[in-house]
Structure formats: structure tokens, C-alpha cells
Structure 1
Amino acid sequence: MRESVDKVNRRGRQDPADDEVLELVHQVMHQFRSQLFQALRQGEHELTHMESKVLGFYAHRPGATQSDLVQHTGRDKAQLARLIKGLRERGLLHGEADAADRRNVRLQLTPEGQAIQQALRQQAKALEAQAVLGLAEEEKAQLLALLRRVQGNLNA
């Protein structure tokens, strides 16, 4: 009986490292994104974080609609409409009316939008390489496995 009580009591106590793990994951991702978008802002195109996310969405889903983006992001429809309008005015997104339902506009990146998206991806790849510099293949595999377990715990 004593052993089962001890297990229950230990489970109720939080290890101080529990809080630190997710805080560090958050800080690493914030630092990564900050450096990535700092490079973008210093380039010839000034993009906000959300603008880059919108471009990324349409890069992976050419022909998707604004409604598809709203559903994917869960963001406010009006906010996304303003973002899309701005990206279209800057020549980064192009829209065509849907042949089946002319009320829907199918959006895709323009060649300039594709170039920006490619530059963002190259910058991200360089930062990804920098982030894991010096880690052995086994260490990368272990880190991935541990993070997948954390993700699984949150999904349970």
C-alpha cells in the first residue's frame, strides 16, 4: 500500500525542469523566427510575420481561397482580407475568379511572391543548419524523438 501512495504523491509534484523544457522550446522558436524575419526586413521586401505566413500558405496550396486560409489559420476573416489585399496590391499574390463559383477567388503567388517565398525558405534552411551545428546525427535523432514524445503527451 505504501508504494502505491508514494507513486501517486510523486506524480502530483512537478519537477522544476518541466516548466523549463517548454519555456526553452518557446524561446528557441522565438529566436529562430526573430532572426529569420530580421533578415527579411533588412532585405528589399519588408514582410511581417503574418504576411510571410500567408505567402507560405499559398505557396503550398496554389489556388486556395481566402476562406481556405481562414479555416487553416483560425484568424479573423477581416484581418486576413486586409493582408491579402495588401499582398495583391504589392504584386505578391494574384487572384482569379473560380470558374465554378465566381464569388470565390482562387489565389496564387506571383513570380515576385514566389521569389520572396524561395528567399525565405533559403534563409530558414541556413538558420536551421546553424541551429543544429555541432550536433551529431544521433543527438539530432534523440532530440527529435524526445520532442515527438512531448508532442504526443500534449495530443493525448
Structure 2
Amino acid sequence: MTEPETVRPEPAQILLVEDNPGDVRLTKEAFEQGRIENDLHVVSDGAEALDFLTQRGEYEDAPRPDLVLLDLNLPRTNGEEVLRELKDDPELRSIPVIVLTSSQTEEDIARSYELHANAYLTKPVDPDEFIETIRAFETFWFTVVRLPPEVDEQ
């Protein structure tokens, strides 16, 4: 007998940090086709990502993401620095970060995990494979994995 799927009372809050408009479009399409109700928030560089995560400037009302999809090759502040700052912040470090990048170098993979990325996915070049990768990731992270509860601010 299988257990029924847990129903999320609210949509999953996902922050996509991606500067390539084509990859943003494919990611949106994949999440629209997926089974998990979500709010996908998109920022196009690392500085914006840090503002969103820390609710600074125009992002003061931004929701706390349940998950971050992070490209490494970003303008202004690169993905590695975003990952470092996120995981160094006691209030934010519990947010899972999935590196989603075109880089397949061993150095980038090792460095991402050293900086406490929760997973490292290489973007497939083929659009259909890209969408399938996002959907598989979505299913895994939102139906199999137990995500940490939101920390109550004092």
C-alpha cells in the first residue's frame, strides 16, 4: 500500500537565478507542465538574487523561496558568490540550492558542493531533454524530499 502524496497547502516558492532568456522560457514551460503548483520567481543576475533572498530594495516583499535554482555563470555577482553568501547566512542556509548550469567541469562541480549546494544539474542542450530534466527535478524535490520548514523570525 502506498501513502498518498502530501498536498502542499500553498504553491512552492521557487527562485530561478538565470540570465539566459531561452533557459528561463524552457524552465517556465517545464514548471507549467509539472504536477506541483508553484510560483516561479526569476532574477537575471547574482546581485538581484541576493537582494531577493535578503528582501532588499525592490524585493522587500519577496517570499522566502522553498528552493533556489542557480546558474553559475551570471553577470555582476556570479553563482558561486551567491551560493557562498546564501550558505553563510544562518537565516537562509537551510534553503536548498540546486546548481543548474551548462558547466560540466569537475572543478565547478566540486566547488559547488564545497559551498554546500544541495545538487548539481548540467543543463541539457536539447530543449526536450532540458524540460524533462526540470520535471524530474521538480518531482523529486517536491514529492520525495522533505524540505525544511520555514524558520520563524524572532
Common fold by TM > 0.5: no
Looking at both structures, which has the greater relative contact order when contacts are Cα pairs under 8 Å and sequence separation is at least 6?
Answer: 2
Q: Indicate the structure with greater helix content.
A: 1
TM range (shorter): under 0.3
Q: Indicate the structure with greater strand content.
A: 2
